[in-house]
Amino acid sequence: MKLQINNFQRGKTSSPYVSGAFWKSANLDIHGLDGLARINYLPTAVAGSGDAAIAALPVSFTSLSGVGGDIVFTDYNKPVKRLDFPSTITKIGNANFDAANVINWKGYILANYFTILKATAISANMNGAWTQISTGLDNVGRHNMFSSIADKNLYICNGNKVASLIEEDGQTFDPTNAETFTLTLAAITLQTGYAVKSIEEMGRFLVLFCDITSQNRTAILFWDRVSTTLDAMYEIKEPNMVSTLEHHGTIYITGGLRGNIYKLTESGLSHYVQIKVDDYDNQKYVLTGVLPSLSATYPYQTLAWWKDKLMVVTNMGASGIEPGGIYSVKDGKVNHEFLCSNGVATSSNTLSSIMAWGDYLVYGWWDGSTTYSLDVIRDDNNRLPSGCYFETPMLRAGYKLGKNNVSRIEAVLARPLQTGEGLTIKYRRNINDSWTTLGEKTYTTDGAQSTLVFNGIQGIENLQIRCEMITASTSKNTPYLLEITLF
């Protein structure tokens, strides 16, 4: 018999019982170089210190273009902060403003918290005053803000309304001068029971993503920015599908309870992909977004576009299905990219918002106890020393009356092992069996080998293979795995 495990860029299979390269994985890089499986980059935790320490889940990010710092963020109901890549966190403004949402607009950082909207000027040191613009927003915690490319206005989710902030013609926006702007708290009002949670734009329309209270569904509404009525509507029969990202004319939508991701284009709404996880019996799913207990209030952004991939924040919830963390989708193919930097794959971690900024990927998390942090990833980070693996689907390798033997297993690398690198092969015959280690090959014990030969397995009907890859701590080395062949 001969079975080959390769073409890893095909991503996760839809079930552990169909053919493909792998069913479950963690911390795996399959898109850096097509055709190879490699160890992914090591996330670096950044938590700040003193009065700039992260003290709650980071929930909102915005870019800080044109000055020395890189992004501004807020950990919910805590002072607005600035991250200078890769690891320096400072507070911004000359006084604390405990905010839930931030955005860069017209040379200012605007932030809101429940009824309050404030602004502070962008500058090199970011230590100016916070100017209050309004205390009239609805008394809800989630006021996502959207800066329109088409009309340059700012739009704010405001309960069942959309608020607008417009720079007056011939004026330069200045939050201390009311003559330079017009704030309309209800530019459009939706029917009772609709809650606007996210805003994108498509052509001349704003696209409003709304939870429909107590009806377990999400409405997608089109508004021409002027009328008091809506132009069109789509519906997703799943609640909380309000985490959105626009990329090159396509709006990606997620946030529900079943791992679903949708696409919205000018041609219409369509299902894109579903992220399934390690559950061999019940087909459970990760939450592509935040925990339901948190999502109603907090303005999470759980999608980002990084390195030509859609990056997706996932959480596990009470089901305990793992691994949660950061998944990617490329050309409809799903892969688990990163755990949090504490290396925990279980439901004790809660992940929040994510942002891609140049070469950097940043996301927030909480360990369920006292640690709140950002993780920062860049493609020149070290590789993860351990915790990278993939598991194949169940392989039908023999029959009850005609069991097969594997005489040897070969792992073929695109280049020989380098310092610190290694690869372990494990197997099991049934999905509820423990893994049996077949062997480990490392640079230390086996040298610079490019074909790693492992012992065989006798008397096989069904077979599942697990491959674990390691490298040295503080190393950029990783095995370049081309394929595993069972002879």
Average pLDDT over residues 409-421: 98
pLDDT at residue 434 above 60? yes
pLDDT recorded at residue 278:
58
pLDDT recorded at residue 442:
98
CA 378 to chain centre: 15
Give 341 or 142, the one with higher predicted confidence: 341
CA 60 to chain centre: 13
pLDDT at residue 137 above 80? yes
157-211 per-position pLDDT tens digit:
999 999 999 999 999 999 999 999 999 999 999 999 999 999 999 999 999 999 8
Average pLDDT over residues 398-424: 93
**What is the rounded average pLDDT for all residues in the chain?**
91
What residue has token string 């927030």?
364
Residue 45: CB atoms within 10 A of its CB come to 15
pLDDT recorded at residue 17:
85
Q: Return the percent helix, strand and coil in the chain, to nearest 5.
A: 5, 50, 45
pLDDT at residue 338 above 80? yes
CA-closest candidate to residue 328, choices 4, 20, 6, 41: 41
User: Which stretches does DSSP call E strand in 174-321?
Assistant: 181-189, 194-202, 205-212, 217-223, 232-236, 243-247, 250-254, 260-265, 268-274, 303-306, 309-314
CA-closest candidate to residue 6, choices 486, 485, 487: 485
> Is 0.85 surpassed by the pTM of this model?
yes
Superfamily of domain 44-378: YVTN repeat-like/Quinoprotein amine dehydrogenase (2.130.10.10)
Average pLDDT over residues 303-329: 84
413, 469 in Cβ contact below 8 A?
Answer: no
Pairing, β 250-254 against β 243-247: antiparallel
pLDDT recorded at residue 318:
56
Residue type, 476: K
Number of residues written out for the chain: 487
CA-based end-to-end distance of the chain: 6
- Before 86, cis peptide (omega within 30)? yes
121, 105 in Cβ contact below 8 A?
Answer: no
CATH 2.60.120: which residues of the chain? 3-39+387-486
pLDDT at residue 346 above 70? no
User: Which stretches does DSSP call E strand in 6-76?
Assistant: 24-26, 28-29, 38-39, 44-46, 58-63, 71-75
pLDDT at residue 463 above 80? yes
Q: Return all residues near 348 (Cβ < 8 A) that are at least 6 apart.
A: 367, 368, 369
363-397 per-position pLDDT tens digit:
999 998 999 999 999 989 999 999 999 999 999 88
pLDDT band at 291 (very low <50, low <70, confident <90, very high): low
What residue has token string 């594997």?
406
User: What's the token pair of residue 393?
Assistant: 């689907």
CATH 2.130.10.10: which residues of the chain? 44-378
Let me know if domain 3-39+387-486 sits in CATH 2.60.120: yes
pLDDT at residue 84 above 90? yes
Average pLDDT over residues 322-351: 88
450, 416 in Cβ contact below 8 A?
Answer: yes
Residue 214: CB atoms within 10 A of its CB come to 8
Name the 3-class secondary structure at 293.
Answer: helix
pLDDT band at 350 (very low <50, low <70, confident <90, very high): confident
In eight-state DSSP terms, residue 472 is -
Distance CA 293, CA 273 (A): 24
pLDDT recorded at residue 365:
93
Q: How many helices and strands in the chain, by DSSP H and E?
A: 2, 42
Distance CA 207, CA 236 (A): 14
Pairing, β 131-134 against β 260-265: unpaired
CA dihedral of residues 206, 212, 218, 224 (deg, nearest 10): -10
Average pLDDT over residues 455-469: 95
CA distances from 253 to 110, 203, 354, 409 (A): 25, 18, 14, 42
